[in-house]
Structure 1
Amino acid sequence: MISRNILSYIGVVALTCYVAYATDPTQLQDFCVGVNDPTDALFVNGMFCKNPMEAKPEDFFLSGLDKPGNTDNRVGSNVTQATATQLAGLNTLGISLVRIDFRPHGGLNPPHTHPRATELLTVIEGTLYVGFITSNLPNGENKLFTKVLNKGDVFVFPQGLIHFQINIGKTPAIAIAGLSSQNPGVVTIGNAMFGAKPPISVDVLSKAFQLDEKTVKHLQAQFWISP
């Protein structure tokens, strides 16, 4: 009887493992259009891998995160990335890092999402007001979670949810954020909605944001940037 139970348990575990490993890996880009002819195809969902026998310590090293980014722009912030693009050794490891610099008195990392990563942010210097918004709740609302962070404080932004940070202090602010993907992606809401190329229909944006057409066209004419 005991042996039969053990065999049943092993069978369930084996089936569970098969189901778990039979799923597709999380995508590392927005889309991947299938092609039959690989002549003009690109290798995606990661990068080509170097022969491990040819790997060097430099492949796992990146300098420069001690240097402040240029915040002289419309939003007053700058993001310095350490993803697989800048640090080749991160490829396939599912993690990345960014440094975010904020100008005093309102330097803003605008509302945005990371479609492929949860973000864990740590304040190194300054005072930030941060927050994220849930997806649609059963009552049809979107709940806002906010917090004022000081030096040494940590805050997490769940994967795919809209979030932001703004410097509410009188001095420059610095934050370091870890992300659970080597290529987390970023969708800055304002840029995506009003700066898309080609532009989204004015009728769509007018109705979606309850704005008149003149206001929508004005917003579309702005020079949209990402930090």
Structure 2
Amino acid sequence: MTKLFTCILTVALLALASPLASAHDPSPLQDFCVAVDNPNSAVFVNGKFCKDPKLTTVDDFIFMGLDVPRNTLNQLGSNVTLVNVDMFPGLNTLGIALARVDYAPYGLNPPHIHPRATELLTVIEGTLLVGFVTSNPDNQLFTKVLNKGDIFVFPMGLIHFQFNIGETNAVAFSSLDSQNPGLITIANATFGSNPPINPYVLAKAFQLDKSVINYLQQKF
């Protein structure tokens, strides 16, 4: 009886732990679930209402316009166009998203993380210095110079970046294994939170003078 109870308890704990340990989108239980903002729809999946499959058309499965260069006239010299479920309803429940990244010469896609997705980056034009940092305690940097046609993977949840080291514009496309991968830009989140993080906390964490922290918080 004791062995049987132990076995049942173990199975129950594993069943409870498995969804908590999985960070990927759940597998769909239907062919597709095109998202619509219609509360009268019968099915609500992944935070979206599903269009009646009988009303679905081929246009629900196409997104156009990623061939157009984006404006990179900003402080970072980069522009990320994310195509997730909010922009492309046909992605709902399919566990994938896409991004076009444009870089001006020496443009930077700054250190950031995607909490819910691994990213696969393909360089279309230009030369990029890319890298990611492993988790504590090693914090090892893996970095590489990529050229046209090269592909690089950024593991889920790790800080990563891309920097155009060329004198011409660069373009890359990223595929992410979540319909809503999320984005946390490290500098913005740290120094531009709302409300601001107590500057004494950041001063101690970064071993900087409080005046420097105040300056950075004003910048962001």
Any idea what SS the aligned residue of 1:80 has? strand
125 and 22 in structure 1: CA distance in 2 versus 1, 3 angstrom threshold: closer
Instruction: Say whether the 8 Å CA contact 1:102–1:172 is kept in structure 2.
Output: yes
Any idea what SS the aligned residue of 2:178 has? coil
User: How does the TM-score come out when normalised to structure 1?
Assistant: 0.79
- Check if 1:135 corresponds to 2:135: yes
**2:77 corresponds to:** 76
Cα distance per residue 1:167-217 (max 9 Å; x no partner):
000100000000000000000000000000100000110011111111100
Counterpart CA distance in 1 for 2:94 and 2:70 is: 26
Give the AA of the match of 1:67: V
Structure 2: give runs of 5+ residues left out of the alignment.
1-10, 26-43
User: How does the TM-score come out when normalised to structure 2?
Assistant: 0.81
Map 1:105-116 to 2 at 5 A. Answer: 106-116=106-116
**2:52 corresponds to:** 51
Instruction: Say whether the 8 Å CA contact 2:24–2:117 is kept in structure 1.
Output: no
- Cα RMSD, aligned residues only: 2.2
**1:23 corresponds to:** 19
Give the AA of the match of 2:108: L
1:27 deviates by 7.5
Instruction: Say whether the 8 Å CA contact 2:200–2:210 is kept in structure 1.
Output: yes
- Among 164, 168, 180, the alignment partner of 1:167 is 164
Structure 1: give runs of 5+ residues left out of the alignment.
1-14, 29-42
Give the AA of the match of 2:176: L
Counterpart CA distance in 1 for 2:85 and 2:49 is: 11
1:20 deviates by 9.2
52 and 205 in structure 1: CA distance in 2 versus 1, 3 angstrom threshold: same
Question: How many residues are treated as equivalent by the alignment?
Answer: 190
50 and 165 in structure 1: CA distance in 2 versus 1, 3 angstrom threshold: same
Cα distance per residue 1:53-75 (max 9 Å; x no partner):
11111111111100111111110
Instruction: Say whether the 8 Å CA contact 2:78–2:104 is kept in structure 1.
Output: yes
Instruction: Say whether the 8 Å CA contact 1:46–1:91 is kept in structure 2.
Output: no
Any idea what SS the aligned residue of 2:171 has? strand
- Check if 1:63 corresponds to 2:64: yes
**1:215 corresponds to:** 212
